[in-house]
Structure 1
Amino acid sequence: MVSAAKMHTFEEVANHNKIKDCWLIISGKVYDVTPFMDEHPGGGEVLLSATAKDATNDFEDIGHSEDARDMLEKYYVGEIDSTTVPGKRTYIPPQQTPFNPNANAKASESLIKILQFLVPLLILGLAVTFRQYTKSE
């Protein structure tokens, strides 16, 4: 007797977005690729970047081999309920570090100290070089 495939919602699959718990949606199927994270030729970060979305295009764009496609079957955990998959993925920009004027002031002070040390050395080096070229034999 063949059992029906387990149906997963997008929200459920999207929650599996960590190195130790990574699920992907590819061609309407859900795969738990957690055991493959360390073995993936592109690294686990590539798999993580394909979470919380339909990763079909990501998978197809790479041009995976038939062996890779066959390998997916051992990670199969069910089907995705297509009615729960958002049409467009909302872009969430990375958090920006707040502007810290004190950090810029400290960087400027460090640069000034470095220049105060290097400029005299540069002048001394130019003077020595100039003296050697202008020396008469």
Structure 2
Amino acid sequence: MPTLSKLYTMQEASEHNTKEDCWVVIDGKVYDVTAYLDEHPGGDDVVIAATGKDATDDFEDAGHSKSAKELMETFCIGELDTSAPAVSEVEISSKKQNAQKLMDLTKQYWVVPVAVVGISVLVGFLYLRKK
């Protein structure tokens, strides 16, 4: 009978991003590598930098050995819940609001450069007319 694995969202995994509490996601599995950070040959900062995202490519690009992959399995605490959105609805809403604010500012501040150009043209025209 297969063992049931706990499901974690990427949001949950990304909250564990310190030397005292470090999780990484590789190949759809979630690993608590906190106890291994001091032993990691590449240093703890490399592993901590891989939190909050799918670190599969980073892991594969590093060329880990078969024994490293076997050791990694001892730190597996669950699987990534692929049915949950990678970005929360609150974050999506916040990004949309920020984009709208940027568009509003862009619409407001086009007037200043146009006014400067218009005044410059008018002053130039009046100056040339006096001559």
Structure 2 length-normalised TM:
0.63
The residue type paired with residue 83 of structure 1 is S
Q: Structure 1: any 5+ residue segments left out of the alignment?
A: 88-137
Greater radius of gyration (CA): 1
| Partner Cα distance (2:61, 2:43) in 1 | 17
Which residue in 1 is equivalent to 2:26? 26
Aligned length: 87
Percent identity for Structure 1 against Structure 2: 48
Paired residues of 1:11 and 1:84 also in contact (CA < 8 A): no
Structure 1 length-normalised TM:
0.60
Paired residues of 1:15 and 1:52 also in contact (CA < 8 A): yes
Q: What is the root-mean-square deviation in Å for CA atoms of aligned residues?
A: 1.4
Shift of 1:82: 1.8
Q: Structure 2: any 5+ residue segments left out of the alignment?
A: 88-131
Deviation string, structure 1 residues 37-78 (Cα, Å, up to 9, x no partner): 000001000000000000000000011000000001110000
Q: Structure 1 segments of 4 or more deviating over 2 A?
A: 83-87
What does 1:101-116 correspond to in 2, within 5 Å?
A: none
Which residue in 2 is equivalent to 1:81? 81
The residue type paired with residue 81 of structure 2 is D
Shift of 1:84: 3.2
